[in-house]
Structure formats: C-alpha cells, structure tokens
Amino acid sequence: MQQLQCIFLLSESSGEVMLEKQTTGHHVDRSICAWFWHQYHHHHNNDQMSVVTSPTHYLFPLIRHGIVFLACTQLELPPLLPIEFLSRFADILSDYLCAGAGVTLNEDIVKDNFVIVYEVLDEMMDNGFPLTTEPNLLKDIVLPPNLVTKVLHAVTGNSSPSVGPTLPHAAASTVPWRSTHPKTITNEIYVNLVEQLDASVNRDGNLRRCQVYGEIQVNSSLPGFPDLTLSFTNPLLLNDVRFHPCVRFRPWESSQVLSFVPPDGHFKLMTYRVKELKKIPIYVKPQLTSDSGNCRIYALVGVRNDPGKTIDSIIVEFQLPPCITSADLTSNHGTVDILADKTCRWSIGQIPKDKLPSLSGNLVLEPGLDRLHVAPTFQVRFKIMGIAMSGLQIDKLDVKNMPANPYKGFRAQTQAGDYEFRS
C-alpha cells in the first residue's frame, strides 16, 4: 500500500514539533522529529536532503517558509509522490492562511490556525494517500478564514464554522478543478507570462548556457462553463512543456494550442522551457587578482542587449570563500552588505544612465595563504516588467460558451533564475 504514515510540521529554527497528523493505524512516534532535527543541523546545513533514511522510517522533508514539512513512511512508494504532495500542501496552506494578508507563511501563522491546518490536511489525505488536492474544491469543503469571520469571531466570541455546509458539486463533476458556484464573478481573465532567465557565463566571459523557464499564470474570474483557447504566434519556440490538468492534450498535439476549461482564481496553466538563447540582458565582469595574502576585487555591471524595458531590482550576490578573513568593499552605486553567512550582497536597483555601477575592494586571506586559488560565483537577480525574454508571444485567447465577452488582460515579466557569472 502506497501510503504516508504521518506528517509532522516542525519549526525550522527551533525544531519544535508544531503539529502531527497520523494517517494510518501505525502511529509514528514524534521522536523521529528530534532525530531528523539532529541530522539536519549536524550535517551540512546547505545540503537539502530529499529522501532521508532514518533507522525506522523513510523521511521526506520539505523546508519552506521556515517550516519543515516532514512526511514519514516505512514502505516503498514513489518518492516523488510525498515530495509533490508536501509542496502542494505548503502551497495550499499559504493560499489559505496568507492570501491577501501581504505576509508569507511562517510558524506563528500555522500555530494560530492549527485547526484549519488539520482540517485541510484531513481533506487532502485519506489513509496516507492524497484525496482532494484541488484548491477550489478544498475551499468549498474547508472554508478559508476571511476578515469578516475573523472580526465576527473576535467580537462575538463565536467562531463561524470553518467547514463547508455541503459537498461542492465539483467533487462530482468531470472537471474537478472548477467549482460550479464561483463566488464573485467579475468576468475577467488575466494571462501573465512569468519567465525566469537561466544563464551561466564562464570566467572567460563566454556564455555557456542560456535558457528561459517560463510559466503562464492565469487569473480567471469567468461565469458558467467557459471554454478557452489560447494560441501562440511562435509555439515552435517551446522546447519542453508541462500542463495544468485542465489542458486538453489532443489540440496541443495536433496544432499547439491550449484548449481548456479554467479553474477559478489563480492557477498555473503551463510551464515551459526555451533553450539555447543567445542574448542576456545584463552582464557582470568580475576581476580578482591576489598576491601576498591580499585579493583585490573589482566587478562591473552593465546592460548588454537592451531589452527595451527598465531592468529593475538588480542585486549581485557572491559567497566569500571560507579562506577570507575580512573584506572591505565599496561601490559607486547601490549598497553593499556582508551577511552573516559570508554572503556579499550588492543591491544596485536600476542601472543609472550616466555611469556603470562598479564594486571594488580588498579581501584579506587567511594567514599562511599567499594567493586565492578558488573563485566565487556571482549571482545576479533582476526583474524586467513587460517583456518575455524568450520571445514567446500569445497570439489570441478565444472564449467560447460565454454570455458576454469578458475582459482579457495580458502581461509579461522576466526575472533572473540561475543567472551566474564565474570568476
């Protein structure tokens, strides 16, 4: 039987067990959490273990938002199942507890809403196997907390029921992702291309690898049972694709169009990859020279192939090698911080028109070391609104089965993914 025996929620910082949910008759003792905690902290901290073999159980940890989601099993099961499930669970919790609140999930929020966490988890998993994981459906069964009920609760002292009155019809329909009675209909649909640019430049300044990983995020608020068709002007660009379950396979196979009945609210329609791009929008030129126990560092940041839109929130980061005892860094633009874990963060923001931002400084090596023999990698983060660097373009979005023509919005943005320069 493929099943998870238990799910624990731990605090990443203290190791405190916040919640336990046993899903089968074989209870897992919570001492396993202490064991895991010890392993996690005493082995290399930066190595995220995906499958941990403990003396009694196989553990699948997922660490997100300072919370360790720990699934335990004793029997063979496809390891990606618990991994995917936990990440889905974390997503759904964030959506339940933090949507619109402007904060990210953290351990306090989980503790404050432990009843909802239990109820959601119980609906998501039965006998250790995923039961209902469709967010729209879950929200009909376990109502997410909203401001009105919270205030009511605070004022009257009576908590409003967190459990839905009846089973949503969607649970029975062939399109389980779509609830049949969407709450508020604004008759709008927004399609957002969000791309991450991965690039890697070697120490000679040659572009070794450049690709885009993109997502099509849709926010739909349409009445009834809309049938949508999204087509691209240049679908052949797409190297790899993965789809939301609502996308029909046939139309894509035959003519590369996305035909689907959308769920309500936010969802990820498709993820894709465009490989072998040739142009990167921004470059870093690091130079390190070292002799007699000192290392001089000089790094220059500039725009290479102007994308035509402003490049925003540029941050350059690199890890100081362990053999460096002290560093003195200055820049002509932006601020430089050295964090506790020896990460050096240079926040640039936007590149000014009149000068190229540069970073310079001196690193002092450990005594006894004459020259620096290792080279840090410079990672760059940025954001460009209004452009998809892959060049993917949406041709049109046809809407069928609708009484009135909805408002359609399209947006695009690119941000840095694994964007790195080796020195």
Partner 1 sequence: MLPQMGAAAESLSKASSLVMRIGTDAHLYDDPDDVSIKPLLESRYDSEKVDALKRLLALIAQGADVSHFFPQVVKNVASHSLEVKKLVYLYLLHYAEKRQNEALLSINCFQKDLSDTNPLVRAWALRAMTGIRLHVVSPLILAAITKCARDPSPYVRKCAAYALPKLYNLHQEETSSLEQLVDVLLRDNSPAVVGSASVAFNAICPNNYPLISKHFRRLCEALPDVEEWSQIILIEILLRYTVARHGLVRESVLFADITRDSTFSSVMRRCYVEGHELWSGDGRGFEEVEMGTCKNEDVDLLLKCTAPLLWSQNSAVVLAAAGVHWIVGPAEEVKKIVKPILFLLRSSSAVKYVVLCNILAFAKAAPLLFDSFYEDFFISSSDSYQIKTIKLEILSTIATKSSVPFIFEEFQDYIRDPDRRFVADTVAVIGFIAKRLAVLAGTCLEGLLKLVLSEPLVSGSYQVEEEDGVLVQAIISIKSILKQDPSSHEKVIVRLVRNLDRIKNSASRALIIWIFGEYSSIGDVIPKIAPTVLKYLAWSFHSDEVEAKLQILNTCAKVTAKTKGNNKDSTLFKKILNYILQLATFDQNYDVRDRARFIRNLMGNETKNNLDIYRDLAESMFCTKPASSPYPSANIRVYLPGSLSQVVLHAAPGYTPLPKPGSAVIENPAGLDNSSDVDESEGSSPQYSTEDNRLGYDTGTEEMSENGEYEETPLVNISEANVDQGQTSQNDMSNFVSTDLSEMMSRSALESWLDETPCFSDGSFGQSRSQNVSTSNARVSFNDRNFKLKPRKSHALLEPANSDGLRISYSFSTEVSSVSPLLVCVDLLFENFAKETLRNINIRFEEASGSSISGPMDPVLEDSASMVSPDKIPTLLPMEEIPLLSPNETVKRILQLRFQHHLLPLKLHVLCNGKMYLGKLWPDIAYFLRPLSLDMNSFVEKEKQLPGMFECSRRCTFSDHLQELEQNEKISVNADKSLVVAHCFAVKILSSSNFYLVSMDMPVSLKPDDMSGLCLRFAGEVVNSSKPCLITVIAHGNLTEPLDVTVKLNSEDTVFGLNLLNRLLAIVQ
Supply the Cα-derived Rg of the chain in whole angstroms: 25
Choice from 379, 390, 413, 414 touching partner 1 (CB under 8 A): 379
Does 337 bind partner 1 (CB under 8 A)? Our answer is no
Does 100 bind partner 1 (CB under 8 A)? Our answer is no
Does 352 bind partner 1 (CB under 8 A)? Our answer is no
Binding residues among 245-284 for partner 1 as defined by CB under 8 A: 245, 249, 252-253, 268, 271, 273
Is the CB of residue 361 less than 8 Å from the CB of residue 407?
Answer: no
CB of 335 to partner 1, least distance (A): 13
Query: How far is the C-alpha of 409 from the C-alpha of 390, rounded, in Å?
Result: 20
| 168 or 406: CB nearest partner 1 | 168
Does 129 bind partner 1 (CB under 8 A)? Our answer is yes
CB of 187 to partner 1, least distance (A): 27
CA dihedral (83, 105, 102, 153) positive or negative? positive
Q: Helix (H, G, I), strand (E, B), or coil: what is residue 107?
A: helix
Burial of 165 (0-12, 13-18, 19+ CB in 10 A): exposed
Choice from 85, 89, 232, 382 touching partner 1 (CB under 8 A): 85
Does 114 bind partner 1 (CB under 8 A)? Our answer is yes
Which of these segments, 77-85, 184-192, 307-315, 343-351, binds partner 1 (CB under 8 A)?
Answer: 77-85
Task: Name residue 362's amino acid.
Answer: N
Binding residues among 57-76 for partner 1 as defined by CB under 8 A: 58, 60-62, 74-76
Choice from 34, 99, 103, 385 touching partner 1 (CB under 8 A): 103
Which of these segments, 12-20, 258-266, 328-336, 381-389, binds partner 1 (CB under 8 A)?
Answer: 12-20
Q: What are the start-end ranges of the E strands in 245-323?
A: 257-260, 265-274, 282-291, 294-303, 311-319
Does 158 bind partner 1 (CB under 8 A)? Our answer is yes
Does 400 bind partner 1 (CB under 8 A)? Our answer is no
Which helix (H) or strand (E) segment holds residue 154: the answer is helix 147-156
Query: How far is the C-alpha of 93 from the C-alpha of 67, rounded, in Å?
Result: 12
**Count of Cβ atoms closer than 10 Å to residue 399 Cβ:** 17
CA dihedral (258, 264, 265, 266) positive or negative? negative
Which of these segments, 47-55, 181-189, 256-264, 346-354, binds partner 1 (CB under 8 A)?
Answer: 47-55
Choice from 229, 231, 244, 313 touching partner 1 (CB under 8 A): 244
Query: How far is the C-alpha of 97 from the C-alpha of 135, rounded, in Å?
Result: 13
CA dihedral (139, 142, 146, 148) positive or negative? positive
Choice from 39, 94, 149, 360 touching partner 1 (CB under 8 A): 149
Binding residues among 277-316 for partner 1 as defined by CB under 8 A: none
> Phi, psi at residue 215, to the nearest 5°?
-130, 145
Choice from 15, 19, 227, 345 touching partner 1 (CB under 8 A): 19
Q: Helix (H, G, I), strand (E, B), or coil: what is residue 376?
A: coil
Choice from 53, 184, 292, 405 touching partner 1 (CB under 8 A): 53
The DSSP line for 229-283 is: EEEES-GGG--EEEE-TTB-HHHHHHH-EEEE-PPSEEEEEEEEEE------SEE
Choice from 56, 108, 205, 328 touching partner 1 (CB under 8 A): 108
| 202 or 287: CB nearest partner 1 | 202
| 345 or 422: CB nearest partner 1 | 422
